Amino acid sequence: MKRILLNISIVIVALFIIVFYMYFVNGSLEMYPTPEREEGIKEVTSTLVILFAGLEIVLICLRIKMKKR
Q: Which of 12, 1, 2 is nearest to 55 (CA)?
A: 12
Provide the residue ranges of all domains of the chain, joining segments of one domain with +. 2-68
**Residue 59, pLDDT score:** 96
Alpha-carbon span 42 to 37, nearest angstrom: 9
**Residue 27, pLDDT score:** 77
Alpha-carbon span 43 to 61, nearest angstrom: 27
**Residue 31, pLDDT score:** 79
**Residue 48, pLDDT score:** 94
In tens, the pLDDT along 9-62 reads 999 999 999 999 998 888 777 778 888 888 998 999 999 999 999 999 999 999
**Residue 35, pLDDT score:** 85
